[in-house]
Chain A
Amino acid sequence: MSDTINFIIDGVEIQGREGQTILEAAEAAGIYIPRLCHLKGLTPHGSCRVCTVLVNGRPQASCTQPVAEGIVVESESERVQQIRRDIIDMLFVEGNHFCMFCEKSGNCELQAMAYRFGIPTPKFPYQFPKRGVDASHPDIFVDHNRCILCGRCVRASRDLDGKHVFDFVDRGPHKRVAVNAEARLADTNLDASDKATEVCPVGAILRKRVGYAVPVGKRLYDEKPIGSDIEAAKTK
């Protein structure tokens, strides 16, 4: 095919297509590049930076960087993995992540990422920020303690649900997700069937009354690391 783009990830030759990002082309070839803010079906955000790779030696977010002929991508090297570990550690200390009672535990992508990297505890000091919980909505609650500011809910509500229930307010370390109302989620037009309620990678947006439904041992990441489904596609 004429629109095939040849490039290299960690010494492996990959064929991508025009318009693909590095992350997408790698995934199609059975190579998993760790990511948190990225979710198939949503506009790439490039904010968590976990998918950072070196492209011809320059750091780039692989979820937003298009493939190009002949590029050499470094993804699993120690220095890149170190960057990813640092970012995961940062996300853990930035919020209040009490996995032991979180309904998302076992299915949480942040936690799974830490498991995949074998992190026993973050190397940075915990910040213990003061954040709130919004349980006003009849079906959905928001726990900002767990939010990692990936923007999936913002994008899903805007681009998939055709609403604008969530968006970012404030800046820097004070940046947070707010709702399109004075303060309460209940005062927005969020519906329990909205896509925005399903995309949170952590336990920040959860459905009420369905917690802990799957027993320990059977949850998504209890046995197999996050990304193993993508990697399994390669070995087949």
Chain B
Amino acid sequence: MSASLQAAVQEICQACGNDRTRVMDIVREVQSRFGCVTGEAMDLIAKTVSAHRVEVEGVVSFYAFLSDQPKGEVVIRLCNDVIDEMAGSERIVRAFREALGIDFGQTTPDGRITLEHTPCIGMCDQAPAAMVNDVIVTRLSSDSVWAMVRELKAHMDPKRLVQKLGDGNNAHSLVHAMVENNIRRSGPVIFADLTPGDALKKAVAMSPQEVIRDIKTSRLRGRGGAGFPTGIKWDYTRSAEGAKRYVLCNADEGEPGTFKDRVILTEKAELLFEGMAIAGYAVGAETGILYLRAEYAYLRAFLEDVLNRQRSRGLLGKDVGGKRGFDFDIRIQMGAGAYICGEETALISSCEGLRGDPKNRPPFPAQKGYLGCPTTVNNVETFCCVARILDKGPGWFAQLGSQGSSGTKLLSISGDCKSPGVYEVPFGVKLREVLKMAGAEEALAVQVGGPSGQMVGEKDYDRSICYDDLATGGSVMVFGPQRNLLHVVSKFLEFFVEESCGYCTPCRVGNVLLKERVDRILAGQGEEADLAYLQDLGQTVKMASRCGLGQTSANPVLSTLKNFRSMYESLLRKPIDGKQLSFDIHQALADAQTVVGRQSVHF
């Protein structure tokens, strides 16, 4: 084992040029070949790439899809987000337990199959869903789980689980997935046709500054959620000092309830890569990196193929778009299961082979980003907009949408609605119209922007989807009248607790404390003062956290306290005789009663 491990690690490192910054690729490959990255493997990797063992351990222990303990040949990761739960994932949980005879977090005694939970895998419109290694299985039922487990035990080949292929490129031989696109509404920006090369050729016919000027004129803002003006970001990147510049595409779509980038990657990858090449031309970069979340690994071979096609069309590689001297190519960097890597500086850390910790700002990525060089990080959808703007003109784009928010927006709609899926709508559309499109007129509440966004109710349905009102990176989760919104809040907090990088105090500790108090109220042990406690604590987490995760993780609490306060109030109780409601003497004595074998004399 040891000799073969050594040979394998050396070969894997060699394939990555023994490059310290490629540690993500190295540990992913070791994980996939050996089912874990043992301490011995960490030592070997560290020696080979001139890093310290504890640094490699830091990386391996950071990402959910990496492990220092052996995992099964097949790892089943069942999505445990709230939408999947609403779609009946509890039945699926029971079915997996029974069919495999193990609990979540365990491996079958023969060491072949591991069962785990994972946060949102971007399949909320076809929930409940799971990953089996890289293979996605959707619309699970108890029956399909039993059938899956039988099939796996017989052949140990996850690919055989895909029996019915999805629509569009999901049926492409390199994708071969049962995933469906569910494109419910097409628009002129993302889902319209484009002849490959048209946009890029128009771009390279101009000067880079003119391209940036056009992007500014279009008033394009980042589609990931934060909404920073793309043209200004590029301008900063272009004018910053640096030997090299980089273009990074954030395809780490991890905000629960968001799956629109998955559909773009499946159907509009050419548009995306063309947009990245245009960005490369504009900022003066030779290298682009597509940071692809591990959950979308099933799209990797297909995307590599699209990249090859783009190269053969002359839209990547040397003299791109026929522009002499403009060389630009794109590589794919796989993630390994960490929501925080969707934060742009954490994404850069991850690309550098580090833990996915966000970096301190300033300096901003535009000044010092990937490997210390000026870097622009943009969302998948943003690059698609870029290509369209260059093709159709900034004026055409700017007249779409609303005043402060030009263009269209892809929404991923899921939850209690008749037609979950992806909708391309003009910015400025009223939430009520969106709900009507999706068949969700009965909604009790809508989470706009995913867990880090806002939970709004009926009185806000006439507000607009745009940067200046209801902002969203794409996630729209619908909750019907039968749902317990406090339970939803608790699930969101659980997500943030799991996905916090732990770097700064307020996020690392504060989210745990927020969840504790929400759960206390849910258990009927809350009192009036707990609402002020939640408000103050939420405010501290929001104000003091270092990055966007902590700055928004309290939003589910703060927005429900504002919009659904009565839901909290209906659960509150009044303390009697000064006793703390949260102290449950019977629960506190349960262990002792078992050990000692008698009941309490007092209680």
Contact = CB atoms under 8 A, between A and B. Distances in A.
Nearest to A95: B509
B207 interface: no
B55 A49 contact: no
Contact of A59 (B54, B498, B502, B544): B544
Contacts of B52: 164, 167, 180
Given A164-B55, A167-B58, A174-B502, A125 B355 contact: no
Given A86-B540, A90-B505, A169 B54 contact: yes
Contact of A87 (B362, B536, B544): B544
Nearest to A46: B360
Interface string A149-181: 100000000000000101111111111001111
B269 to A, nearest CB: 31
A127 interface: yes
Interface stretch (B128-136, B146-154, B186-194, B510-518): B510-518
B81 interface: no
Interface of A: 44-50, 52, 59, 61, 64-66, 82-83, 86-87, 90-91, 93-94, 123-125, 127, 148-149, 164, 166-175, 178-182
Which one of A48, A59, A91, A179 has the highest number of Cβ atoms from chain B below 10 Å of its Cβ? A59
B540 A171 contact: no
A140 B42 CA distance: 25
A172 B545 CA distance: 13
Interface string B58-72: 100110000000000
B543 A83 contact: yes
Contact of A171 (B57, B360, B500, B536): B500
B544 A83 contact: yes
A127 B512 CA distance: 10
A22 to B, nearest CB: 12
The 8 A-B pairs of least Cβ separation, nearest first, read A175-B502, A90-B509, A164-B52, A180-B54, A86-B540, A167-B54, A172-B500, A169-B61
22 contacts: A46-B360, A48-B505, A49-B545, A52-B544, A82-B536, A86-B537, A86-B540, A87-B506, A87-B544, A90-B505, A93-B509, A166-B54, A168-B58, A169-B61, A170-B61, A170-B62, A171-B500, A175-B501, A179-B54, A180-B53, A181-B54, A182-B39
Given A127-B512, A149-B502, A166-B54, A171 B61 contact: yes
A49 B546 contact: yes
Contact of B504 (A49, A94, A171, A173): A49
B506 A90 contact: yes
B360 A49 contact: no
B544 A172 contact: no
A65 B361 CA distance: 8
Nearest to A180: B54
Contacts of A123: 533
B431 interface: no
Contacts of A44: 360
A45 B546 CA distance: 11
Contacts of A66: 362
Contacts of B499: 172
Interface string B529-560: 00001001100100111100000000000000
Contact of B502 (A48, A166, A171): A171
A47 B500 CA distance: 13
Contacts of A50: 505
Contacts of A167: 52, 54-55, 57-58
Contacts of A91: 505, 509
Nearest to B356: A171
A45 B508 CA distance: 15
Given A64-B360, A83-B544, A180-B54, A170 B504 contact: no
B503 interface: yes
B203 interface: no
B500 A87 contact: no
A83 B545 CA distance: 10
Contacts of A59: 543-544
Contacts of A64: 360
B440 interface: no
Given A46-B504, A49-B546, A66-B362, 13 more contacts: A49-B504, A52-B543, A61-B546, A83-B544, A86-B544, A94-B505, A164-B52, A167-B52, A169-B54, A170-B502, A171-B61, A175-B501, A180-B54
B264 interface: no
A90 B55 CA distance: 27
Nearest to A158: B52
Contacts of A179: 54
B294 interface: no
Contact of B501 (A46, A87, A172): A172
Interface in B335-388: 338, 340, 355-356, 360, 362
A47 B504 contact: yes
Contacts of A83: 506, 540, 543-544
Nearest to A127: B512
Which one of B55, B57, B338 has the highest number of Cβ atoms from chain A below 10 Å of its Cβ? B57
A33 to B, nearest CB: 14
B501 A82 contact: no
A164 B505 CA distance: 23
Contacts of B510: 86, 90
Contacts of A172: 497-502, 508
Nearest to A148: B505
Nearest to A50: B505
Interface string B295-334: 0000000000000000000000000000000000000000
A169 B355 CA distance: 9
Nearest to B40: A182
Nearest to A170: B61
A186 to B, nearest CB: 15
Nearest to A168: B58
A171 B53 CA distance: 17
Contacts of A180: 52-54
B509 A169 contact: no
B532 to A, nearest CB: 11
B543 A173 contact: no
A43 to B, nearest CB: 9
A32 B317 CA distance: 55
B62 A171 contact: yes
B57 A149 contact: no
A167 B355 CA distance: 11
A178 B58 contact: yes
Nearest to A179: B54
A61 B358 CA distance: 14
Contacts of B338: 171
Interface in B481-523: 497-506, 508-510, 512-513, 516
Contacts of B513: 90, 93, 124-125
A169 B54 CA distance: 8
B508 A149 contact: yes
Contacts of B503: 47, 175
A93 B537 CA distance: 14
A47 B547 CA distance: 11
Contacts of A169: 54, 57-58, 61-62
Interface in B30-58: 39, 52-55, 57-58
Contacts of A148: 505
A94 B54 CA distance: 24
Nearest to A164: B52
A87 B505 contact: yes
Nearest to B362: A66
Given A44-B360, A64-B360, A87-B540, A49 B58 contact: no
A87 B540 CA distance: 8
